[in-house]
Amino acid sequence: MTIDTETELYKIDDKLYPCTTSITMDFVGGKWKMVILYYLRNGKKRYNELRKLMPMVTERTLSLQLKQLEDDALINRAVFTTKPPLKVEYSLTKFGETLVPLLHAVADWGRNLAAERAEVVKIKLK
């Protein structure tokens, strides 16, 4: 006796996903992507501004995460070379802006948890 089973998968850009949650996590998963998107929700930021807002992320990781977000069309990278020094700004794309309600929901959840359990620790930036 054979039992035939069938499963529906979602396919985006030749990549298969078992559920819609896995689609979302592929785009925003990882420790820093949501943080980057959250800081870009109110407008453009330069690379060094993002570094100052996220002192715990390494330069390499930040660069890689920015590149992945750009490759996934969630952020724009604008390079200005008209006068030295070179200036690079990052901003959300229209597609990236569709994540703003999710970013706010995640931040609200974290804010509520922090109010219950967290202590504030100040660090000195270099």
**Amino acid at the residue 98:** T
Tell me the pTM. 0.86
Sketch out the chain's domains with CATH numbers.
31-117 (1.10.10.10)
Q: How many CB atoms lie within 10 A of CB 68?
A: 16
Per residue in 87-117, pLDDT (tens digit) is 899 999 999 999 999 999 999 999 999 999 9
Nearest one of 39, 71, 75, 76 to 55, comparing CA atoms: 39
CA distance 120 to 114: 9
Q: What is the mean pLDDT of the chain?
A: 92
